[in-house]
Chain A
């Protein structure tokens, strides 16, 4: 039969639209905003419309039935559980970002600002479900390009513009590297479909390792490393975080990171149905490279954060360090099961998902407070600017302290749950492959030391807020939406810290089964 008239193939192609209905809704809202914004612009109007758009996308995501495409090797979009998790995370982050960027949005550019935000959100969501190199690249660009615009929109000073230009140049460079890597993968396997690519590479690796495929993978890791601020691709972060508008920086700290980890997991086949056959397993040395990347990233991020006196630069380096922690999840996810078939007791992807959600909560919370306390006349720049906030703005200070405690990873915060899962996963990862041996445990020790170093600079901020008296009291922007976002995010951090199980369960269902399935131990117990 002519393969082109295969009904399954046709069904696969036509069914794609059904799988991205929420993203279409987001993009449609964005288009409406950008087009109609020419006639009538205004912060309140387009805020409401964008919020409606996000809510509509959420409703569609919850209601529209998403059948798996019959031919995964031809589908450019796969609606698997991991994709669902990334989508919900993106939508939730977008809702939070809408609220917290309120004081920063100008009446004249509101439509463009919110439109770009929605496009970036749609991009993150699409990255989670892209199953094709081209789709993946487009989805990633769907995040980058609006971000350039966003960085430039409220730019009024030279510092702002410099930050925007830097981000643009380096981002374009990383996109080029990404395409270069994709071209290798395509050239090696003759397909752009990720299911086909990973399957072909896994088959090929079983016979002999292919250095060229590895070159492609390393290029992809390097390009994605830019988005997850892995050392040495992190250079832009401190400068852009410091110079960019705070609301956009909050976006930059969360959305590209979620997308970057999703993209990395997709290309490395970690979302695949069978976690046991990976295109780049430990024998290919790629996990070792990721291990090195994780150690470098968390260590350098923390060490440099120690030296910062600027809140935003500190948060930038802290973001770098947390990128390193999350890379642990990727390293663990690519661990091979040991001879008895047992993997880590907490899957890497599962821990990564929990950590991503926790990271989004606590980072957005911290940025929301910084935004709330900043006014154009008196922006919060140095850490000392926060002196005495504990007395003058008790609610904001409480939210900030909650976020910082979570970033440290104190118990009863979401950050603790995330770190605990990552550490337990890495600690129990099987150690009988030649390349890794006890490196997983070394990784846990390094991460624990790093977490201790991190506590120093976070606690310093808490100390300044509560123990120092204000030098020049901050006015506070009285932006209620931002404060509401900060409080909700801090409350979420606390709730998910006290009762993390719903998040853990959601992440476990989203992650492919790895190691002894969680159900197996539970079944062993119940009788």
Chain B
């Protein structure tokens, strides 16, 4: 039990057991207690996760790989069941278990009295299991299995209210859009399999490629294909469109899956595969630019959204873009530094974004399901706890100095300015991206506080739908909020800036290990500029929205309208992709009719042959014997003549 692999497998097993138990409970009269297995399993997993963290931190070994158990093998393809524990995966695991625990507790209150209570918790448990498996998997195909597992759970939970057409179609959209990325992911895996001496184990593959440097073009292709998977799963441009729609699911689901964990799987994948990516500067530049474009675009889209959850969704997309920005600098700066920056932001983001979503959920709960910021306002006296926790989350997301978001954002900005000054290939590009990142920071502060002011300031307004619900949420919901708020405020400060615990710990990850230690120093200029922009953003939001109503100057209306209409991206996709696809579909349908007829013709052939052969089966035993004898004679003639010739 004390060895890291045993701990990791225990963490993996707990949510699986919870999933089975919750599924069984939902069939019985105890369905109301379906949340108990998940809460207990997550809490236990969180404790084990912290133990694992301490264990791994002891050293001197920082990588533990379980003995591979062959899952299946055919020819060159061997797929092993094997997990790896290193600082990277243990940090991720502890974070997932901790955040899920509180979200599970919150869910128990939020979903109370819902018809699908058992189903909800069964799928949530399955999700936590798949996510832990994804983090631990040391084999690409095993990783894909869990990767699809989280995708499936996301589908089931986004479509939780499946009787609502919008939820059903959002679930379908999420599944199909990510599937586009997954196709690339699988192709990339098999390309790597071919390049890497038919290895599918991550550690073996990386070790092999380290010793046998592959062809640069091939490696770049493989990296970009892997990145395709990350783009789909982590909702990056141009495949980000599914994430805002995925907000149709219950709010705790948005908090857990679409903010804290699943969408970060792409970031984690790239961090895991960092040894490959650093060998390909071209791929890294693509990663950084994709991240930069996404960060800015999504921040702009978040400016004028009126749906509180959608603001947060676009903000998630934007922050994920931030993480990819940092990952893309690996190689230009030390890979350990780049990955630390991305993972640290992932870590702090999990806290404050989960907190923001849960607070929004608390608001939604009180407002009777209404989430449009135009319909309510001035809730700070009505819901004091939620107000304060939302403020904590918003301040952390905006990057107010000394809160956790500030430290992680600062690290990313530093990695970018460092990459810009590195003189490596694409340095100018990284410099431009640093500017983009600063701009995004400003926008982030602005839209976050816009949402905050619109929701909690100004005169008190409550929509009709709220009815008698309009009060502070029960303790089962507010306690997780308070805990996560503490995390959002202090997790960053505790983990990194003074002790450098996080970067030192992650730096031990063998796959990131480099000869020169990642030197990292606090850069006052970066921090100063960043803080100034944040203050400007918050100030502007205060100026325009402190009355709780929309008050942006008339001159900016067109820009806001553009943002509110999502830059017409859906419409552009509609016109550029869906319409032509529709025309194509019509043509295809015509062709399909033809092909169908052809296929039917072909399909008729076996039947026709069968009809021809059928009379032979006439039931007469003499005839059967004769056929056997004739068959034998034909075979004999065939062989003897072939040989004698």
Contact = CB atoms under 8 A, between A and B. Distances in A.
B640 A424 contact: no
B610 A211 contact: no
Contacts of A524: 197
Contact of A501 (B73, B630, B631, B635): B73
Contact of A214 (B73, B610, B643): B643
Given A170-B628, A209-B643, A226-B628, A289 B638 contact: yes
B625 A170 contact: yes
B640 A239 contact: no
A233 B631 contact: yes
Contact of A288 (B78, B611, B642): B642
B639 A525 contact: no
Nearest to B628: A233
B621 A218 contact: no
A443 B632 CA distance: 22
Tell me the dominant secondary structure on chain B's binding face: helix
B640 A232 contact: no
B617 A285 contact: no
B111 to A, nearest CB: 29
B617 A304 contact: yes
A157 B588 CA distance: 56
B204 interface: yes
Interface string A216-232: 00110110001000011
Given A238-B617, A525-B197, A499 B71 contact: yes
A209 B643 CA distance: 8
Interface in A173-223: 173-174, 177, 209, 211, 214-215, 218-219, 221-222
Contacts of A489: none
Nearest to A307: B610
A453 B74 CA distance: 24
A417 to B, nearest CB: 7
B426 to A, nearest CB: 35
Contacts of B78: 522, 525
B614 A304 contact: yes
B642 A166 contact: no
A222 B631 contact: yes
Contacts, number: 118
B408 to A, nearest CB: 39
A211 B628 contact: no
A292 B76 CA distance: 28
Contacts of A504: 72-74
Contact of A285 (B72, B204, B643): B643
Tell me the dominant secondary structure on chain A's binding face: helix
A522 B201 CA distance: 13
Contacts of B69: 501
B113 interface: no
Interface in A121-176: 165-166, 169-170, 173-174
Contacts of B627: 232, 235
A521 interface: yes
A211 B644 contact: yes
A226 B628 CA distance: 9
B126 to A, nearest CB: 16
Contact of B71 (A425, A428, A501): A501
B75 interface: yes
A303 interface: yes
A211 B636 CA distance: 10
B74 A421 contact: yes
A420 interface: yes
Contacts of B636: 215, 218-219
Interface in B585-633: 606-607, 609-611, 613-614, 616-617, 619, 621, 623-625, 627-628, 630-632
Nearest to B199: A525
A267 interface: no
B624 A166 contact: yes
Interface in A423-477: 424-425, 428, 453
B70 interface: yes
Contacts of B607: 303, 306-307
B190 interface: no
A133 B478 CA distance: 82
Interface residues of B, number: 40
A420 B628 CA distance: 32
Contacts of A500: 72
A424 B74 contact: yes
Nearest to A223: B632
A173 B70 contact: no
A502 B644 CA distance: 45
Contacts of A403: none
Interface string A476-507: 00000000000000000000000111001100
B161 interface: no
A73 B78 CA distance: 39
A323 to B, nearest CB: 15
Contacts of A421: 74
Interface in A293-322: 300, 302-304, 306-307
A346 interface: yes
Contact of B198 (A165, A209, A307, A525): A525
A166 B628 CA distance: 13
A236 interface: yes
Nearest to B606: A303
Contacts of A235: 616-617, 623-624, 627-628
A221 B625 CA distance: 16
Contact of B621 (A165, A302, A344, A417): A165
A289 B639 contact: yes
Contacts of A214: 639-640, 643
A218 B630 CA distance: 13
A213 to B, nearest CB: 10
Contact of B625 (A173, A218, A238): A173
* Of A211, A221, A292, most B-chain CB atoms within 10 Å: A211
A258 interface: no
Contact of A525 (B204, B606, B623, B640): B204
A391 interface: no
A41 interface: no
A521 B198 contact: yes
A109 interface: no
B229 to A, nearest CB: 20
A170 B621 CA distance: 8
A425 B77 CA distance: 12
Contacts of B644: 211
Nearest to B631: A232
Nearest to B208: A525
Nearest to B619: A239
A428 B75 CA distance: 9
Nearest to A215: B636
* Of A221, A226, A307, A505, most B-chain CB atoms within 10 Å: A307
A424 B621 contact: no
B610 A285 contact: no
Interface in B73-104: 73-76, 78
Contacts of B611: 307
Contact of B609 (A231, A286, A303, A420): A303
Contact of A218 (B70, B71, B632): B632
23 contacts: A166-B624, A169-B625, A173-B625, A174-B628, A211-B643, A214-B643, A222-B628, A222-B635, A235-B616, A235-B624, A235-B627, A284-B639, A285-B642, A289-B635, A306-B607, A307-B607, A345-B74, A424-B74, A424-B75, A453-B606, A501-B72, A525-B197, A525-B199
What are the 4 tightest A-B residue pairs by CB atom distance, in nearest-first order? A345-B75, A232-B631, A235-B624, A303-B610
Given A306-B610, A525-B78, 15 more contacts: A170-B625, A211-B643, A218-B639, A219-B632, A219-B636, A222-B631, A232-B631, A233-B628, A233-B631, A304-B610, A304-B614, A307-B611, A345-B76, A346-B75, A525-B204
Interface of A: 165-166, 169-170, 173-174, 177, 209, 211, 214-215, 218-219, 221-222, 226, 231-233, 235-236, 238-239, 284-286, 288-289, 292, 300, 302-304, 306-307, 344-346, 417, 420-421, 424-425, 428, 453, 499-501, 504-505, 518, 521-522, 524-525
